[in-house]
Structure 1
Amino acid sequence: MTAILFKTATLFAATATLAAGTVLLTAPTAGARTTAAASNACYDGAWTYRKGAGYGVLPINGGVYRTTSRCADINIKADQATSLELCYSNPSDTRTTCKDYVTAKAGQWKVMGTNFKDGTRFWFNVAAIDTLKTGSIAA
């Protein structure tokens, strides 16, 4: 039995398996993306934040962020190590859920929560109220 994997620049793949004179071709759907490509699309759409001293919530204007179709997860990349908790409410109800406080290391993407519906409202409670905090959010 011989297996051959063909890969094209458009991320389509076909596998041909030869067994007893038969050929089986399989390919992912036309819209398939690799995990790396999906992550890049998510992070490429990130927006920046700036939390001044005296504020304990992001965004600081009392609003909320909303998830988009670019990302299935809520991610943060802090410019300074930051302890924070993710809070969110789904588009279809008003209940609020907050996760435990975690530390986002400086300069590294941190997944704060996974598998959110598009339009989910979210915000962060930040432990260091008296400290300037900056970074990026992708959701």
Structure 2
Amino acid sequence: MRTRTRIAPVALAAVLVAGGTMLAAGQAGAAPKAGPAVKATCYGGAKYYTSTAGGGSSNAHWPATGTWAYTTSNCNDINVKSDVSLSVKVCFKKTGSCNGWTSAKAGVWTVVAKDVLHGSGFYLQFNRTSSSKGWIAY
């Protein structure tokens, strides 16, 4: 009986270790394919922003006038989570053009540009003159 009681805990420990190793390996292999895991990595690198207020006929924008943000390998898209509901468009350095307006609800992640090449220069333009705050992941 002693042999059985000693073997059982050792066998149980070996099964738990093997199961944990298999689970970790399964998670590691699945993480890049799973949408939430990829988004968590993208949003995990998000930066808090405060847009520069516009004036007259100029809309608020981010980053500061005359500067560009550059996309990273953290995300394939440019995502915004603003403190207020507004519309956003992305303007690109290379092409000198902007995409159309995208409505973004307050407190919700919104994709404002899809499938953007890494290292692309861009700025955001908001459909208002007053400043906004929130998060941006790119």
For normalisation by structure 1, the TM-score amounts to: 0.71
Q: CA RMSD in A?
A: 2.3
Structure 1 gap ranges (5+): 1-6, 14-27
The equivalent residue for 1:135 is 134
Alpha carbons of 1:37 and 1:121: their partners in 2 closer, same or farther (altered >3 Å)?
A: same
The equivalent residue for 2:69 is 65
Query: SS of 2:24's equivalent?
Result: coil
> Distance in 2 between the 1:33 and 1:11 partners?
12
> Distance in 2 between the 1:10 and 1:109 partners?
30
Structure 2 gap ranges (5+): 1-21
Q: What is the deviation of 1:64?
A: 1.0
Runs (4+) off by over 3 Å? 10-13, 30-33, 52-55
The equivalent residue for 1:125 is 125
The answer to which of 37-46 and 50-59 deviates more is 50-59
Q: What is the deviation of 1:80?
A: 0.8
Bigger Cα Rg: 2
| Aligned ranges 1:80-95 → 2 under 5 Å | 80-89=84-93, 94-95=94-95
The equivalent residue for 1:104 is 104
Flag the structure with higher strand content. Answer: 1
For normalisation by structure 2, the TM-score amounts to: 0.71
The one-letter amino acid of 2:24's match is A
> Distance in 1 between the 2:97 and 2:66 partners?
17
Q: What is the deviation of 1:9?
A: 2.8
The one-letter amino acid of 1:63's match is T
Per-residue CA distance 1:102-139 (angstroms, 9 max, x = gap): 2211000001111112101111111111x230001101
The answer to which of 47-56 and 35-44 deviates more is 47-56
Per-residue CA distance 1:56-96 (angstroms, 9 max, x = gap): 2211242111111110111000011122211124xxxx322
The equivalent residue for 1:115 is 115
Contact 1:82–1:133 (CA<8 Å) still a contact in 2?
no
Taking every aligned residue pair, what percent have the same amino acid on both sides?
A: 32
